[in-house]
Each structure stands twice: as structure tokens, then as C-alpha cells.
Amino acid sequence: MVKTEKCEDVNCPIHGSLKTRGRTFKGYIVSNKAQKSAIVEWSRLRKVLKYERYEKRKTRVQVHRPLCMNIKEGDYVEIKECRPLSKTKKFVILGLVQKTKDSKTITKKETKTTENKK
């Protein structure tokens, strides 16, 4: 969630003077190892006309992460387009949609191996 205290980041869409425009997306934080950056990823379906089927594709973009937002890897966030902040960053995080669950997610392979052992 957004903290109530004011941050010193000029490029914060809430406390700073950065104006947002254009498209809005929602996706998961894949990496937030950089100081003020994060990588957001979301999946989409693309139609293959030749086979009349759909294929899954992923979109990954680098976004500006304001320091006033307590965001971790795995969180579901909303991002919006803004002016270019660097060579690769053209989006900024607006807010948190859903927090990460701290519990370990179980994959299909793990469930199959545990069922086979019983």
C-alpha cells in the first residue's frame, strides 16, 4: 500500500510532479533488485491465424518504482505510461492491487510426485 508519509522522489506519480498518460496495465513484479526500478510481467493471448488457435505470450517492461511504495517480488501492481525516464523505463507504478501470499505455491509436478508416493 501507499504510505501516508511524503516521499522525496520527483518521479513519484502521487507525491512528485510526474504526469501519467496513455495505457494502463496490471501485472506481477518479477524483479525489484535495482534501486528505483522493477520488472513487471503479464501474459496475453495471441491468435495464430494459420492454426486457428491461441498462443500464450508474456510482456515484460521495466518500470519506475517509487520508494514510498512498499512493493516486493510477486506483488500484483497497476502501472501506467509516462514520459521516458531512461532508455528503457517508460512506465511507473501507480499502486498495489494485491499483495503476495507468503505461502509456498505448489506446482503440478510436486503434487503428482506426492500422490505417487502414497
CATH assignment of the domain containing 41: 2.40.50.1000
User: Is residue 101 included in any domain, yes or no?
Assistant: yes
User: Is residue 53 included in any domain, yes or no?
Assistant: yes
Q: What pTM was estimated for this model as a whole?
A: 0.74
User: Is residue 12 included in any domain, yes or no?
Assistant: no
- 28-56 burial, b for 16+ CB within 10 Å, e for fewer? bbeebeeebbbbbebeeeeeeeeeeeeee
Q: Supply the range of the domain harboring residue 92.
A: 20-117
User: Is residue 1 included in any domain, yes or no?
Assistant: no
- Per the prediction, the chain carries an average pLDDT of 84
Check whether 19 has a pLDDT greater than 70: yes
1 confidence band (pLDDT: 50, 70, 90): very low
**For the chain, what is the domain count?**
1
User: Is residue 10 included in any domain, yes or no?
Assistant: no
Q: How many CA atoms lie within 13 A of 41 on its CB side?
A: 12
Check whether 2 has a pLDDT greater than 60: no
Check whether 96 has a pLDDT greater than 60: yes
Is-contact 99 75, C-beta < 8 A?
A: yes
